[in-house]
Homo-oligomer: A and B are copies of this chain.
Amino acid sequence: MIITGEALIGGVAVKGTQGPLCAYNPNTRQKMEPTFHTVDFAQIDQACRLAEAAFDTYRATSDEQRAVFLETIAGQILALGDVLIERTMAESGLPRPRIEGERGRTIGQLQLFANLLREGSYKDIRFDRAMPERTPPRPELRMRMIGLGPVAVFAASNFPLAFSVAGGDTASALAAGCPVVLKAHSAHPGTSELVARAIVKAIEICQLPAGVFALLTGSGNGVGQELVRHPSIQAVGFTGSRSGGVALMGVAAARPQPIPVYAEMSSINPVVLLPHALAKRAEQIAAGFAASLTMSVGQICTNPGLILAVAGPDLERFTAAAAPVLASGAACAMLSPGIAGSYGKGIAALAAHEDVSTAALAPQEEGKGAPALFVTSGAAFLSQHALSEEVFGPASLVVACKDIAELRAVAQSLEGQLTATLHFDDADLDTAHALLPILERKAGRIIANGFPTGVEVVSAMVHGGPFPSTSDGRSTSVGTGAIARFLRPVTYQNLPQSLLPAVLKDDNMAAAWHRRDGELLRG
C-alpha cells in the first residue's frame, strides 16, 4: 500500500486543495514524504453529504453484517503489515513494541464491538404488551436503539492507531450503525491514510455504501469546526486538548440543532498515598509510580500527574526513592514539536514557581521530554488553580498535605478526572472508605493499590469522567459502553409485524435479549 497524501471521500482518493502539511519524524527531526493538503469546505460538505446518504442503508444492515464489517476492517489493517508499523513509529516517535501492541489493541477493539453486536443486548429492546381490555385500551409498545446519524471523529495524537482512524470512537460509531467522517490528526497523516485505505477496502469487500467512511486531511482548526457545523453530522467524538474540546463543544452547542460532543480532554489523575501504605512500602510505590509516569514519555491520558499524601518522613522516603529514577530518565522524542514545546513550558513554570520545589528534573532536550517531579504544599495547591492544570508529559506534582483533613480538601477541590487512585494498607481502610464518596464524584475510574495507566478494553471499563476530563461524564470512550454514545431510543406503537424493524418482529425479539413488560429476558 502506497501513501499518496490524499483524503478519502466516497471511497475515492482526492487531494485537499488548501495549504500543505507533512508528517514529521520526531526522532530524525525530518519532514516526511508525501505532502498532504488541507481539504476545502466543499470537500468537507461532500464527505458529510455522502455520510448522510449512506446512513439509512448502513443502519439497516444486520448486527451480523456490521460485525463482519468490523472484522474485515481489522483484517485489512493487519494486512497492511509492517508498512503500517514502520510509518506509525516514524510519525509518532514511539517504539516498535508499543506500536505493535497498539495495533493489537486496535484489532481487539474492533473484534470486541463485533462480539457486542452479535450478543445484541446493546439495542435495549423493550416490549410492553397491549391491554385492549383496559380503559382506555393500552397500545402495544416496542422500543429499540438506533444510530444517531453521521458522526465526526477527531483522531488523537497520542494513540495513532487505537484512538485514531480505526480507533475506539470509529469502531463504536460504526458498530452503532453511524457513518464516520474522520478528521485525521496532522501529526500522523501517513498512518491515517494507510488505515483509512484499509477501511475503504473493507467497505468495498462488504459492499457497503462508500459514504460510510471518509478521511479528511488538514491542519488548523478550520476543518474541524466546519465539520462539526455541518447539518448532517449528529455527534462528535474527540480526544485531545481541553482547549480543542471546549471549542468544539461551543461550536456544537451553537448549531441551529445542537449535537452531543464526546470529548476526552484533560486529566491529572490524582494518586492518593495513605499513611500506612506509605509507611510500609514507600519505595515500592515510588518504583511503580515512576514506571507509570514515564510510560510512552508520559503521553497517556491517564498519566499520574498528581500525588496526594500527608507530609512527613514517609512521603519524603517516597519522593527520595522516585527522584533519582526520574532524574536519570532519558529525554525521549515526544509526539510532536508542539507537544514537546508545551511540556517544556509546563515544567519550566513549575520549576520557577515560588511555592513549588523541584525533586527531580532530568536533562531536557528540544523536541523531547524527560521526567520531572515537583513538590508543593496542600495550602499552596488549594490557593492556586494553575497548579492543578495538566502538564502533558512525564511530569508529576506531589502535594504534601499537613493532615488527612487537608488531603480531603485538596481532593474535594479537584476538577473532574478520568481516574483517581488510592494506595492503602489495612490500617488505612477507614480513611480510604471516607475518601471514596469524594473520588466517585471526581472520576470515572477508581483504582486500588495500582496505577492509572493501562486502560483495559472490556465491558466494565469507564474511560470517562466529569468535566473537564471529558465533556460528558455520562459516557465512556473505551470499552463496550462506548457504543451508547451514538444511539437513541425509538418506540413503535401498534405497528403490524410487516412494518416493524426486523429486530422487533415477534420471532426475532423472542430469540434475543429484550425487556418484556419491564422484565429482562433472553429467548
Contacts and interface: CB of A to CB of B under 8 A. Distances in A.
Nearest to A59: B437
Most chain B C-beta atoms within 10 Å of own C-beta, residue among A444, A448, A466, A498: A448
A520 B119 CA distance: 9
A404 B210 CA distance: 28
Interface residues of A, number: 79
Contacts of A522: 520
Given A456-B138, A461-B141, A499-B433, A446 B490 contact: yes
A499 B149 CA distance: 41
B467 A488 contact: no
A337 interface: no
A46 interface: no
A257 B466 contact: yes
Contact of A460 (B143, B258, B454, B462): B143
A499 to B, nearest CB: 6
Nearest to A140: B460
A45 interface: no
Given A491-B445, A493-B450, A494-B449, A460 B520 contact: no
B495 A446 contact: yes
Nearest to A416: B257
A412 to B, nearest CB: 11
B460 A139 contact: no
A471 interface: yes
Q: Number of copies of this chain in the oligomer? A: 2
A368 interface: no
A116 B515 CA distance: 12
A489 B518 contact: no
Interface in A266-296: none
Contact of A489 (B250, B436, B481, B492): B481
Indicate the member of A136, A471, A476 with the most B CB atoms within 10 Å.
A476
B443 A490 contact: yes
Contacts of A495: 446, 448
B448 A490 contact: no
Contact of A139 (B119, B450, B467): B450
B143 A493 contact: no
A205 interface: no
A480 interface: yes
Interface stretch (A16-24, A27-35, A121-129, A315-323): A121-129
A522 B454 CA distance: 30
A258 B493 contact: no
A459 B128 contact: yes
A514 to B, nearest CB: 10
B461 A491 contact: yes
A119 B519 CA distance: 8
21 contacts: A127-B460, A128-B456, A141-B456, A141-B458, A141-B460, A143-B459, A143-B460, A143-B481, A146-B440, A249-B253, A436-B501, A440-B490, A446-B490, A446-B495, A447-B494, A448-B492, A449-B494, A458-B517, A459-B515, A474-B487, A481-B489
Interface of A: 56, 60, 115-116, 119, 121, 126-128, 136, 138-139, 141-143, 146, 148-149, 249-250, 253, 257-258, 260, 415-416, 429, 432-433, 436-437, 440-441, 443-450, 454, 456, 458-462, 464, 466-468, 471-474, 476, 480-481, 487-496, 498-499, 501, 513, 515, 517-520, 522
